[in-house]
Structure 1
């Protein structure tokens, strides 16, 4: 009977090439009745080769998506997380979806394992995307809490000024991100959602933008393992701060600490005492935002307003500001919405070893799935290689291959060809790596067949098949 149709089931997944074999052996070639039998045999062999090349493993998969295992990550099933509603406009939302798609595809391609969440309720200002991963060949997991700052196409050429970092509010206010940093560190040991992201020492805090930062000093430190996030032309570099190159930033946080202590010192003062104290000490402050707030208290002294200013700062543990500045990273000049598309396809093609047309099909399915997932609220699944959403995409691709190959596969079954399981992996590796493949059967074919430069296939255009 040969192989059944069900035994041609496949599971799209991740493949790793090995050393190409010099020859492959196929068993049970049956029937040589006509001169064209050898060509028919070869067409069946070619079909099997295409199945291997087109992202297909030969081990039968489960009968349906419902039988797939639950999403896993290291210790077991991934619990759902609480997703809050998004707070950005349509263009910002699209940018978030594209980044999530890019990180998902890159996770498939470059990591041993990963999972992805968006609009995480417990991540403060770093809630847009949370990406946990372990790179191939590495024993360290990283969790990147990412805040997206998308700029519209017409504004993207206008750089972010260094001074924007030193405001008490605004899209690029480091103070705002410091507040979230302190909150996450304070809660990580007790918050069940944050705890599953691992140890705080392995957390990274990212401001991610398609705009450029004027006056920033770019560095790349591969020990931090965060270059995987890069989608721009700057080779994985990012802006970070140290006491030498970021003296203005460190001075800003020192002044914030002095400002906070000054406000707390006046907490028991009368309104008149508050006014006099500020008039005496305001010259000690240089930051424009701080001076404006103090000047307002001089003109309208009020212990209630003083209390509000203290409340703005009391969530921050200023003993942590140096630690924060070492962890926060600004990824500038990253991809915009349109350029993300080709980057995503590139990662998918490398991860899945698909043809360009196959990659386009997978991309369109992934795009729709990510758009729906991004809009979900409440309890939501994390995305990973084992997640149900990705399994559904793979299943659609499997069904498409099965439908296209149904007739030819049945023909190979009737012809009596059997590909032994022990030889399919070497065949797969050789097809992916070799430019010359030699196939030796246990029974001789009547004809020597050589195929070279088959049109319509990038894979076969650079390979020769010799079958005898």
Structure 2
């Protein structure tokens, strides 16, 4: 792959996200090519391996700036009004990890057009770009590039930077160290597997920083061997060390070593089947990692492509905990690692000072270091902090012959100050270190009272405390992250781009204005094509001609061709299956010329006629567009139409819903221009009479009302599902997200729904998760623990932090007293889970109140009625099956059918105070809606709900559960059979029977002191709340 190409990430967003991204890319590329201050640039989209900020990436040389500007942008098109903030530690960690990936990608020796330079030689910005609101606590960005960025990417509100606390910096420093530790362990694994016969190099930043820690905690390091190196072997206690970062080294190292060894097993598939039958079997898993399985992105994956997809699905469902994977990897790799004898340089671990040369040279170097130290310490009083920074020069700081080689021998970590200090134990020092130490003791009074604060990037560490370098990276992140909030929606971005295209200078202004629509469509169409190319993309640069080609193509076509092209580009999504086209043709013996076709959806009928005509020379002309033309362009078009040969077929579309009498003259002239031509008129019912008046030669009028989703071709059905959104539980979601079973699609999208979607009407399914009085910004993620039990062997869960309903794999029972936060926790988890997974349907039932009004019908009726009422927030539903009807139940509410365990007959009616008299419909084993007259929306919602119910895809939240009430247990049993995920809250302590039935319960832990402080701080920072101490107690005053 050459430097003009880049690797693209797999997968794309939904259609709304796609349009937002492609229109935004179109706008940014247009501005980059037309801004005189931009000298050269390279632009990419959906770039792989850089994390979250991958939607739009570009680097540009800007006049007046020494460093090039690099932008890495994540575009978020949201319909809600949520504030854009780093709402959780998880969010912050995710974006910071992406920042680190991008930072590492810069490499002067590389050949990538964006990254072929040092990070510090580039002005980088990491942009979260969204239509949502920004937090008032964020500060305005007023840096040197503020105006430049606004000109290149701005479409709306201002640009801000997030505020942060010292706790936030601590979190980021911890992530920096984890990132470094992961790199360190990976480098070790590479050396062990690929280069173990050679001597390990410490000539890289990571090894230089951590080699002393490795010698203290990971390796036993020998004395210098005759060959000049030392021998390092793994410590036995390394594998039992519980320090967080040492455990991380062990886990990553074991996994990477197994991955690189790539051993093969003849009985791999049988071992895999054994493991899938018992996913907690660490011993079996240890035999599979590296040979059959690998661990990637926190997930076990199959290595061999020959193993069936079914086994991969089973593996996904097993959901093996990360701790189990790490334990198995250690079991597999430990014996091998303990057997190794690795060659390391003499300087490794700083067992002694490292100074090359003969005795005279060594003495001279020690004198230099002593003199330098005396100068430094004289500048400070005892008990003062001596700063060691880059200004002291490489000669004094380096590992060989500098003070870096004293870390771990003469210089040790001070637990109190968290800085370096001079050791008071000279007995353990090496010969050179002891010699220098004794010199320093003599020449520097009170040596042990001095502390050294190191502010050097590549300097050995003695602890996993945050260092100055780690802090500098965290602060750099906050200085480079920008929030572009209140930006234009995808429609708004399109309007801005159209306007900027219109404002381009052109010699034929009138002609350019009408053709600018086609320019936009051709230009955006090409950007979409480039956006959709998989795997590898080409950089767009100042030399690319995407926009210029769109202009040239649009300006060279006759006006009639312009209108035809606009129609073709706008309507590429729809084609019909062969049966639908044949049925359409047979309806009128294929005689469409000279007809007026009346349609509920002109778009669908036009697509069908075009498909039938195939390669015949035809043009689609939209009257709405023609009637809006300027007089000059209108006259040009009429002249072109008059001069067109008779072999053309014209499809005239009129989908207007207004009185056309004010356009009499234009309609008359257009009709004259079509005189003697082959025309087909497609219109809605509103305009059919006026079409008959002006196009009287089209005497044959007929209806086209047989357009349904099932009539589309398979490919068009997929495109339709991806392109059209419904408002699902309050959020706009593309249909392909919530309908993942193709066999169910036709039943869910009936003709009425299909027409609504085609005509861009909003289709709503289910209620909105609306907790407008719930302040998410005050939420502290709650911790839960599993109740201990001796009788049953359950794995204990302690202090598990809950962010979504997916954080616990079991059916969950939450036990706590009244008013201790169960409902608040559920509210929060509903919102966070819905944000994470827009297709999930969560049904919340306060079972204590729902069952107060007893139903007189069968238990199964109660169960499905109860959950359907709760899911749709509507009490007007009653579910009845045939045996109930035979008992002459008076039906006063909407009735829908449900499943029982045998074939049965179901009825649906909306008749009041009358017995059901509908004809029975046979169903078998699955619930389906028969009829729901005069309420299409409600019927559609019920069908979607049953689609979720039949496939076990609900999350059922049952509050105030009481195991002593039989009906409560019956409800839970019914939904457990369906494999729905269930969360139950209860105030009653669990019995042993309940433990056996649902598994062990969880309790919500109280706030820790730090969580209390965090919560009160959040309240205190909000203008609506005041924290006061009254009578010795903390009070919250609103």
Scaled by the length of structure 1, the TM-score of the pair is 0.52
C-alpha separation in 1, matches of 2:156 and 2:520? 22
Structure 1 residues 258 and 185 mapped into 2: Cα distance closer, same or farther (>3 Å)? closer
In structure 1, which of residues 319, 341, 344 is the aligned counterpart of residue 494 of structure 2?
341
C-alpha separation in 1, matches of 2:542 and 2:178? 52
Residues 7-406 of structure 1: pairs in structure 2 closer than 5 A: 79-110=4-35, 111-135=38-62, 140-151=67-78, 153=79, 155=80, 157-160=81-84, 162=85, 164=87, 166-168=88-90, 173-189=91-107, 190-193=109-112, 195-196=114-115, 198-200=117-119, 201-221=122-142, 223-224=144-145, 225-234=148-157, 237-241=158-162, 246-248=163-165, 250-257=166-173, 318-319=470-471, 320-353=473-506, 355-400=512-557
Contact 1:105 1:351 in 2 (8 A): no
SS in 1 for 2:52: helix
Deviations 1:367-402 (A, max 9, x none): 111111110023322223421433432431352389
C-alpha separation in 2, matches of 1:307 and 1:203? 41
Contact 2:4 2:538 in 1 (8 A): yes
Give ranges in structure 2 of 5+ residues lacking alignment.
182-212, 219-236, 245-320, 330-463, 562-629, 634-1038
Contact 1:123 1:180 in 2 (8 A): yes
SS in 2 for 1:126: coil
Deviations 1:395-443 (A, max 9, x none): 3135238999xxxxxxxxxxxxxxxxxxxxxxxxxxxxxxxxxxxxxxx
Structure 1 residues 338 and 183 mapped into 2: Cα distance closer, same or farther (>3 Å)? same
C-alpha separation in 2, matches of 1:135 and 1:372? 28
Cα displacement (A) at 1:185: 1.9
C-alpha separation in 2, matches of 1:274 and 1:78? 43
C-alpha separation in 1, matches of 2:554 and 2:178? 64
Report the RMSD for the aligned CA atoms in angstroms.
Answer: 4.3
Structure 1 residues 272 and 321 mapped into 2: Cα distance closer, same or farther (>3 Å)? closer
Structure 1 residues 258 and 124 mapped into 2: Cα distance closer, same or farther (>3 Å)? closer
SS in 2 for 1:223: coil
Contact 1:217 1:239 in 2 (8 A): yes
Using the TM superposition, name which of 253-262 and 87-96 deviates more.
253-262
Deviations 1:96-118 (A, max 9, x none): 11110110122233234333210
Q: Which runs of 4+ in 1 moved over 6 A?
A: 259-275, 300-308, 401-404
Contact 1:384 1:390 in 2 (8 A): no
C-alpha separation in 2, matches of 1:177 and 1:347? 33
C-alpha separation in 2, matches of 1:366 and 1:344? 11
Deviations 1:307-335 (A, max 9, x none): 99xxxx9xxx8441111111111111111
Structure 1 residues 193 and 455 mapped into 2: Cα distance closer, same or farther (>3 Å)? same
Structure 1 residues 247 and 202 mapped into 2: Cα distance closer, same or farther (>3 Å)? closer
Structure 1 residues 182 and 361 mapped into 2: Cα distance closer, same or farther (>3 Å)? same
Cα displacement (A) at 1:126: 1.5
Q: Which has the higher contact order (CA 8 A, sep 6+)?
A: 1
C-alpha separation in 1, matches of 2:33 and 2:123? 21
Cα displacement (A) at 1:119: 0.9
Cα displacement (A) at 1:351: 4.1
C-alpha separation in 2, matches of 1:318 and 1:307? 32
C-alpha separation in 1, matches of 2:43 and 2:322? 48
Contact 2:3 2:111 in 1 (8 A): no
C-alpha separation in 1, matches of 2:326 and 2:487? 41
Structure 1 residues 301 and 144 mapped into 2: Cα distance closer, same or farther (>3 Å)? closer
Structure 1 residues 364 and 252 mapped into 2: Cα distance closer, same or farther (>3 Å)? same
C-alpha separation in 1, matches of 2:55 and 2:323? 37
Contact 1:270 1:303 in 2 (8 A): no
Structure 1 residues 398 and 78 mapped into 2: Cα distance closer, same or farther (>3 Å)? farther
Contact 2:4 2:113 in 1 (8 A): no
Scaled by the length of structure 2, the TM-score of the pair is 0.25
Contact 1:149 1:208 in 2 (8 A): yes
Contact 2:39 2:63 in 1 (8 A): yes
Structure 1 residues 197 and 130 mapped into 2: Cα distance closer, same or farther (>3 Å)? farther
Structure number with larger C-alpha Rg: 2
Aligned length: 288
